[in-house]
Copies of this chain bind each other. A is one copy, B any other.
Amino acid sequence: MDVLNIFEVIGTVAFAAAGALTGIHKHLDLFGVFMLALTTAVGGGIVRDVLIGINPPTAFVYPFFTIISLVTAIIVSINYQWINKFNNVILICDAVGLGAFTAAGANMSFLYEYHRLFITVMMAVLSGVGGGVIRDVFVRDIPFIFQKEVYAVASMVGAICFFYSKPFLLGNGAMYLCFFVTVSIRMVCM
């Protein structure tokens, strides 16, 4: 498994957990919780793939992301009483998902040879925030991105770090930096 996939896996698990917890808070039944976990986890990636022109989207070709979303939703549902004792679990999961998908999106813009800061930032931010926006629209919240300033900004700063560090950092250093910067900003300004 290469590093792109590791970030996508982290992001998928984190967003699936955030989606499942949101569904439980909104009193959806078990199936609704699963579906919301799934759309939150794979939604952002599908939007990104459609925008770049990957047809059909990766999430349609590899069942892997669907499976880990469902497993995460099941684990979260079973352990809900215990998880709920901690504060801000949804926000923390959301921050990790944001960082992971931002890093994956930024990296994909380089894989597709769009070596321009603006495209990298747009793809990173849209990959990062897409799943959360879809989740919020489905449960009839005003999307978080419109209400909490640091959300999109964290993703943006992470993407800029990726873009400028990429030529200097060996291997996947730029992705780790992007992930770390995005999650840190998001957590500090929670």
Residues of A within 8 A of B (CB): 23, 26, 28-32, 35-36, 46, 50-53, 55-57, 59-63, 66, 114, 116, 118-119, 122-123, 133, 137-140, 142-143, 145-149, 152-153
Cα(A116)–Cα(B60), bound, Å = 10
Copies of this polypeptide in the complex = 3
* Cβ-neighbour of A51 out of B50, B123, B138 (below 8 A): B50
From A55, A147, A153, residue with most partner B Cβ within 10 Å = A55
**Given contacts A137-B138, A142-B139, is CB(A29)–CB(B119) below 8 Å?**
no
Docked-complex contact B29 and A147, CB < 8 angstroms: yes
CB distance from A16 to the nearest CB of B (A): 15
**Given contacts A138-B137, A139-B142, is CB(A122)–CB(B60) below 8 Å?**
yes
